[in-house]
Structure 1
Amino acid sequence: MIADEALSWRPRHPTDLLQTVGVLRRGGGDPAFARDSAGAVWRTTRTADGIATIRLSQPSRDGLRCEAWGPGAAAAVAQAPELLGERDDPSEFDPRLPLLDDAHRRNPGLRIARSAQVFEALAAAILEQKVITLQAHDSWRRLVAEFGTPAPGPTPRPMRVVPSADEWRAIPSWKWHRAGVDPRRASTLQNAARYAGRLEEAVSMSAADAAARLTLMPGIGAWTAAEVAQRALGDADALSVGDYHLANFVGHALAGRDMTDDEMLETLAPWAGHRYRVVRLLGAAGVRGRPRRGPKMSLVDHRAI
């Protein structure tokens, strides 16, 4: 099937397709994200012009291509270079440590994605608040599959477009409960949906102003704002302070011990402007962080409450 719109380009930095956009996938069963047998990435999104499905591929080591279907195809194709890290600039990043220098050298194509879809990223981040990742991904899969829109184009498997703000607001309480989402997160997401247009304006703001706009919303704190900034705004410095595991992961990776959030911030201060990049590089290097003998966040099945 011929795409409605397409674009091929040569990125200004080395770019690894999956390393860059893989962070946008919310679990293996994400209805809005898929890979085909050729290794291409398929993703659905909502643009100002309407819904779209995109297929991202890497025909050569230094070439990228985006094909798109749907009423929002042209807008999605125009956004594709930024989605794949065109705005990301690692030129001033100084690894400082052999561990990071080696990770940076071995992963030259790791870029920071920028989807420019604030509410889309926010909805997923809210579902991930204070629950284990597998539980949040299951809720995302259930809700997007039921309330999302069928994806346009020849997708490799049935896919859905993430619900619009109005569609998130229309989800009844028992459907949230059935998807394992507690009333607090459901209320936070539905309230934010009322102001989705204002939240989208964060795309054109400074990092500080974008965080301030997001955290004006009840139930949205620094952690959630950072998760949005990492994916929607392409912020290489956005650090998920307050994460259940992150401080100890960084602490053991860089100092061999547990850390508080404040200690993590002090440790990462030399990499200001690239703190999220440091975390990504540590992950890409296979650093395990804290040994798996400490307490784990427990699964809370809200459907049983």
Structure 2
Amino acid sequence: MTLAQDAAATRASAHARVESVYRPPHPLDLRRTVGMLRRGPGDPTMMFDGPVIWRTVRTGLGPATLALRSVGAEIRVSAWGDGAAEALDLVTALCGAEDDATGFDPSSHPLIAEVARRSPGLRLARTGEVFDALACAILEQKVTGLEAFRAWRLLVTKHGRRAPGPTPRPLYTAPTADEWRLIPSWDWHRAGVQPPQSKTIVRVAERGARVSRALLATTSGDDRDRVLTSLPGIGPWTSAETRIRALGDPDAVSVGDYHLAHEVGHALSGHRTDDAGMLQLLAPWAGHRQRVIRLIYASGVSEPRRGPRLTPADHRRH
């Protein structure tokens, strides 16, 4: 660590703590609700430390760090940084307060009915961070999770900002759209990001604020897809992944995912299916298809692996 980095780390840790308590009017499983936002165990923007979830936030007043802990029926929150007060305002949406399950009927399938009964605290988190969700999803296009998580870790650590607070390990806020645009080609290459993905992130970053405003103003899945897929390099899969993280969209389905159709088919019908078959199986829950997918993952029911894992390719050698 350089002297400048050491000084920045010292300043980051020196912020006073601000505290708050959120008392959700419904059961809340904090780990299953907020934890799904973590991009791998080395995510530089988020980590688990026993019962505490640490998450960095970029606000209009500056970087902030949140520490969330579930205690009884309360979520106790601490925040550090210039943007601490603004970050506290984001906690309720992060904990699924805006998730509306009206009209969801799990009773038409025994597995979904049982998991819904056992998991009343599973909510859909909403971050409101449209560009961050887009950048994550673009990095995950056509690569393994390990490759995408590594790229996210390397790029955010180098080009993001050190987050404030006494985090168990150094955490960082994700780069702003303007900062993503300035990442040099060699850093993309070292992170193993292919040119189509890096160019897509840069192009989206050029209109990041407009895209965020347009997406946050939409109210239907079709309109959300229309906004996102109008961007070069953004297809239905990337759109759905963005909707899930940024908006907590209860109906988004990641069509084109390498594993998802197989997992849904196995859980709901006992055998593999393709994307068309998955959509047919999920059709009874229109409006809540992502909620059903989350319940499937929470069930622990998973299709047995039939072959070796896909080996990540090292594009840095080329």
Q: Distance in 1 between matches of 2:154 and 2:233?
A: 22
Output the aligned Cα RMSD.
Answer: 1.6
Partner of 1:89: 100
Q: TM-score when scaled to structure 1?
A: 0.95
**1:195-234 correspondence runs (5 A):** 195-201=207-213, 202-206=215-219, 207-234=221-248
| Aligned-residue offset at 1:89 | 2.1
- Helix, strand or coil at the partner of 2:78: strand
Question: What secondary structure sits across from 2:89 in the alignment?
Answer: helix
Aligned position for 1:7: 20
Alpha-carbon separation, structure 2, partners of 1:48 and 1:24: 21
Quote how far apart the aligned CAs of 1:4 are.
4.5
Structure 1 gap segments, 5+ residues each: none
* 2:135 corresponds to 1:123: yes
SS at match of 1:65: strand
SS, match of residue 90 in structure 2: helix
State the 1:148 CA deviation.
1.0
- Structure 1 runs of 4+ aligned residues shifted over 3 Å read 1-5, 294-298
Question: Is 1:182 matched up with 2:194?
Answer: yes
**Partners of 1:85 and 1:112 in 2: CA distance:** 5
Contact 1:131 1:297 (C-alpha < 8 Å) held by counterparts: no
1:258 alignment partner, one of 258, 265, 272? 272
Q: Secondary structure at the match of 1:279?
A: helix
Q: How does 1:137-176 map to 2 (within 5 A)?
A: 137-176=149-188
Question: Aligned-pair distance for 1:33?
Answer: 0.6
TM-score by length of 2: 0.91
Give 1:69 shift: 1.5
Give the Cα–Cα distance (whole angstroms) in 1 for the partners of residues 224 and 301 of structure 2: 31
SS in 2 for 1:51: strand
Among 66, 75, 89, the residue aligned to 1:78: 89
- Offset, 1:36: 2.5
Contact 1:3 1:67 in 2 (8 A): no
Check the 8 A contact 2:15/2:164 in 1, yes or no.
Answer: no
Q: Does 1:17 align with 2:30?
A: yes
AA partner of residue 94 (structure 1): D
The total of aligned residue pairs comes to: 302
